[in-house]
Amino acid sequence: MTFDNLNLHDKILKAIADVGYTEPTPIQAKAIPLVLQGKDVLAGAQTGTGKTAGFTLPMLELMMKKDIKKGRHQVRSLILTPTRELAAQVGDDIATYSKYLPYTTAVVFGGVGINPQITKIKKGVDILVATPGRLLDLVGQGKLDLLRVEFFVLDEADRMLDMGFIHDIKKVLTILPPHRQNLLFSATFSDDIKTLADRLLNNPTLIEVAKRNQSADNISQVVYPVDKGRKKELLSHLIRQENWHQVLVFTRTKHGANKLVKELEKDGINSVAIHGNKSQTARTKALADFKARTISVLVATDIAARGIDIDQLPHVVNYELPNISEDYVHRIGRTGRAGNSGEAISLVCVDELDYLKSIEKLIKKPIKKIYEDGFDIDPTIKAQPIQNGRGGGQKRGGGGNRGRNQNRTQNNFGGGNISSRGQRGGGNQRGTANSSRGANRGR
């Protein structure tokens, strides 16, 4: 199938051709015909599979067919996103696909001045991309009219709920006209998503292009067991040893992101952090520098990472595992986008074993464990509870019989393929090591 088979207007097809796309992705091939039929859609697909085009292209087509009052700019399509970065990315994509059409697009979000956004809205906007808080601010000030919205898209709905936007979403629904087409897109599903879909969608068609909450097959996933106090050392070691030039690293907290950047900079590795405490200008510059590869390592929190869309991003590192298993799927989905291959590496200490177990249960497969030479696990370190996204202190113990202790600690990490790196001299060869499943978990 090609885009020519989807009954899209020649001007839309021209815009698609300009960016070099010829064949729709699976989510696009399934979603576009349904949206063109006017149906409400509940769509599940992994990140990086082309969801934005899946709703943008048919939305533009229907806007053209229904466009009776030419030249009158009013908000006809509303796309709600959880983060500023995702809003900006969606806005850029819509601008790309609508470049030959007479529609204006605006993107509004918090963290920047509201007056320029008000000025643009006053000039007339056909398509509005917004985060919930700023959208409600504009409506509350009487600067925005949503009574003529024909298409409502809730993008990254799972993240919306994770961030506590459910009440804002309910408020938005009360100010939208009752007769409209609704589209809900989400990388993962949960019972809360189903409840929201029941409230938002009218007799929806469900489409999924991958098993629910599954990671992409084109992403290689590995776990490096490591003591918490040596994570930064191991990360620096891997970046240099593997010659990584573009790495997206996830931490659980903003403080942790800032601290890691300072430590990597001391090691001579160009790094920058991106999180909610950074100004929008700083976040935009950090992302631009990372895309341009003038910065090798971008350290991000989960919220800030939504909307990071980088072609052929080779490596994602979980410096700390997320406490919400679904976030793992979102994180590693930053690599392996649009069919490209990618590698997801997780540095896991004994504190995080329960998180690792939950993630493997969610994705329904064990993750390969690699023990890096020179980074043996200290078996005397006991697991500490992770509170408010941060791990407790750990007291490091002495050595002892390192070989025997290493085997004992390996068992704590459960099953899956376990290997250790061989001597690196002639290359990165990995030799098999024996392990047993489900022994003491260090709790």
Which tens digit of pLDDT belongs to each residue from 201-257?
999 999 987 555 555 667 899 999 999 999 999 999 999 999 999 999 999 988 999
- Please state the rounded mean pLDDT for residues 391-398: 37
- 3-208 and 219-432 in the same fold: yes
Percentage of the residues of the chain whose pLDDT score is greater than 90: 52
Mean model confidence pLDDT for the chain? 82
Q: Closest Cα partner for 225 from 389, 433, 399? A: 433
Q: At what angle do helices 84-97 and 51-66 cross, to 10 degrees?
A: 50
Q: Find all residues with CB under 8 Å of 61, minimum gap 6, and list them.
A: 7, 8, 9, 12, 36
Which tokens belong to 12? Answer: 């839309």
Region 423-429 average pLDDT: 35
Per-domain residue ranges of the chain: 3-208, 219-432
At 440, list the tokens: 């003491």
Residue percentage of the chain with pLDDT more than 70: 80
Query: pLDDT (tens digit, 9 = 90+) per residue, 256-304?
Result: 999 999 999 999 999 999 887 887 788 888 888 988 889 999 999 876 6
pLDDT value of position 85: 81
Q: What six digits make up the tokens of 2?
A: 């090609």
**pLDDT tens-digit series, residues 55-70:** 999 999 999 988 655 5
Query: For residue 41, what pLDDT is reported?
Result: 94
Helix, strand or coil, per DSSP, at residue 308: coil
Structure-derived torsion over alpha carbons of residues 243, 249, 254, 259, reported in degrees to the nearest 10? -20
Contacts of 164 (CB under 8 A, 6+ apart): none
Max mean pLDDT range (15-19, 303-307, 391-395, 431-435): 15-19
Q: Are residues 277 and 251 in contact, defined by beta-carbon separation less than 8 angstroms?
A: no
Stronger pLDDT, 327 or 392, i.e. the higher one: 327
E strand map for 198-296 = 205-208, 219-225, 247-250, 271-274
Residue 190, pLDDT score: 76
Q: Contact, 27 vs 170, CB < 8 A? A: no
Query: Which is it for strands 342-348 and 271-274: parallel, antiparallel or unpaired?
Result: unpaired
- The backbone torsions φ and ψ at residue 297, rounded to the nearest 5 degrees and listed phi first, read -125, 125
pLDDT band with cut points at 50, 70 and 90 for residue 399: very low
Q: Under 8 Å CB-to-CB from 230, ≥6 apart: which residues?
A: 375
Where is mean pLDDT largest: 94-98, 154-158, 386-390, 398-402? 94-98
What mean pLDDT comes out for the span 349-356? Answer: 94
* Amino acid 390: pLDDT: 38
Structure confidence at residue 247 (pLDDT): 94
**Cα(247)–Cα(257) distance, rounded to whole angstroms?**
14
Number of Cβ atoms within 10 Å of the Cβ of 194:
11
Q: For residue 72, give the DSSP letter.
A: -
* H/E run at residue 187: none
Distance (Å, whole) CA 178 – CA 148: 10
- Tell me the range of 183-187, 217-221, 314-318 where mean pLDDT is highest: 314-318
Task: Return the structure tokens found at 285.
Answer: 């510059």
Amino acid in position 315: H
CATH, domain 219-432, list 3.40.50.300, 3.60.10.10, 3.30.200.210, 3.40.720.10 = 3.40.50.300
Show Cβ contacts of residue 5 under 8 Å, excluding neighbours closer than 6 positions: none
Distance CA 313, CA 337 (A): 8
CA dist list (Å): 131 to 4, 32, 96, 156: 33, 24, 20, 11
Q: Are 153 and 115 in contact (CB under 8 A)?
A: no
At residue 414, the pLDDT reads 58
Full-model pTM? 0.62
Q: What is the CATH number of domain 3-208?
A: 3.40.50.300
Residue 429 is predicted with a pLDDT of 36
Q: What are the start-end ranges of the H helices in 98-215? A: 115-123, 132-140, 157-162, 166-175, 191-200
State residue 119's pLDDT score: 95
pLDDT at 338 over 70: no
